[in-house]
Amino acid sequence: MKMALRACLRTKPGLTALLSQLSCSGHAAARRAPALVAQRSSSSTSQKIKVDFDQSSGVAVMHMQSPPVNSLSLEFLTDVCIALEKLEMDKSCRGLVVTSSQPKVFSAGLDILDMYGKSPEHCAEFWKAVQEMWLKFYGSNMITIAAVNGSSPAGGCLLSMTCDYRIMADNPRYSIGLNETKLGIVAPFWFKDTMVNTVGHRATEMALQLGLLYSPAEALKIGLVDQLVHEDQVLTTATETMTKWLAIPDHARQLTKSMMRKPTIDKLAANREADVNNFVKFITKDSIQKSLGMYLEMLKRRKA
């Protein structure tokens, strides 16, 4: 029940198995009570996030385990941000690997249920959480490595692009990309900026206009991911890669990372409110709501 789905349906017949699973669980998710952020545990290990922190190496692994497909709901985003913030404040934590505990998917992206039939206030809260996630990850002082062990459309792709390095499972059934246009939605400027910083202007223009989802091999070719390994090796390769990055003095690395990313981060930081207003105004339009509704209906029918 995720943004990327229609695109998957149309262009990736190999994902049918994944789809039936998604739509099924998506239906369950639809009946879930709205997330109440105030009740969230501030523990870094919520039900939906498991963080393994190895004090000896200084490396934490964040396992996303929000069934069925690690949708970035308001609730889940809040958990993720709290977990990240705790690690960020812990001086002994120098590196973070982000990965998924869900089969076949890294993260299916922003949760449509937080955009459909919701009040403008709810939509605004949701969007602020998306911004917060991006600001925290893209600006993290830690070394961040995405262990992309499954499909990673839309917001899932964004999350992986915030990291310093991306290792993806070399399974042609998986795909990655910002496919928002296929759903009639527009990736905001900071999604675009992040992608331009990753694959350049021209590849981004094509990718965003067409809402392209790339196979792992295609993603490697355009530089959307940095390395492909066998599915079983994604996490271990991430850990090995982290060792190389840990050899660099933290202070120099952090200043360098900030120099590269600060202009992009400052652009959103200076325009958060306007960006929230844009999103709310767009997403609450009758035409957009109707198209989201039809999309959800289609998923239910497929499930039935």
Give catalytic residue positions: 110, 155, 179-180
**According to the binding rule CB under 8 A, does residue 196 interact with a second copy?**
yes
For residue 141, CA distances in Å to 180, 186, 258, 299 come to 29, 29, 8, 40
Beta carbon of residue 122, minimum distance to a second copy (angstroms, whole number): 22
Beta carbon of residue 165, minimum distance to a second copy (angstroms, whole number): 8
Pairing of strands 49-54, 152-153: unpaired
**According to the binding rule CB under 8 A, does residue 259 interact with a second copy?**
yes
For residue 211, CA distances in Å to 8, 55, 141, 214 come to 11, 41, 31, 10
Single residue of 255, 269, 270, 294 touching a second copy by CB under 8 A: 255
Number of residues that bind a second copy (CB under 8 A): 44
H helices of the chain, in order, are 5-11, 16-30, 74-89, 120-138, 154-161, 189-199, 201-210, 216-222, 234-246, 250-269, 272-283, 286-303
**According to the binding rule CB under 8 A, does residue 294 interact with a second copy?**
no
Beta carbon of residue 33, minimum distance to a second copy (angstroms, whole number): 31
For residue 162, CA distances in Å to 18, 138, 257, 293, 300 come to 25, 5, 12, 30, 32
CB 59 within 8 A of CB 97: yes
**According to the binding rule CB under 8 A, does residue 269 interact with a second copy?**
no
* DSSP bridge pairs for 203: none
**According to the binding rule CB under 8 A, does residue 267 interact with a second copy?**
no
The residue type at 277? N
* Per-residue contact string for residues 148-187; x = within reach of a second copy by CB under 8 A: ----------------xx--------------xxxxxxxx
**According to the binding rule CB under 8 A, does residue 197 interact with a second copy?**
yes
**CA 116 from centroid of its chain's CA atoms:** 19
Collapsing DSSP to helix, strand or coil, 71 comes out as: coil
**According to the binding rule CB under 8 A, does residue 252 interact with a second copy?**
yes
**According to the binding rule CB under 8 A, does residue 274 interact with a second copy?**
no
Beta carbon of residue 211, minimum distance to a second copy (angstroms, whole number): 6
Beta carbon of residue 221, minimum distance to a second copy (angstroms, whole number): 12
Select 122 or 245, whichever has its Cβ closest to a second copy. 245
Q: Which stretch binds a second copy (CB under 8 A): 27-35, 130-138, 168-176, 190-198?
A: 190-198
**CA 189 from centroid of its chain's CA atoms:** 16
Which residues would be at the binding site for a second copy (CB under 8 A)? 10, 164-165, 180-187, 189, 192, 196-202, 204-206, 208-211, 223, 226, 244-245, 247-249, 251-253, 255-257, 259-261, 291
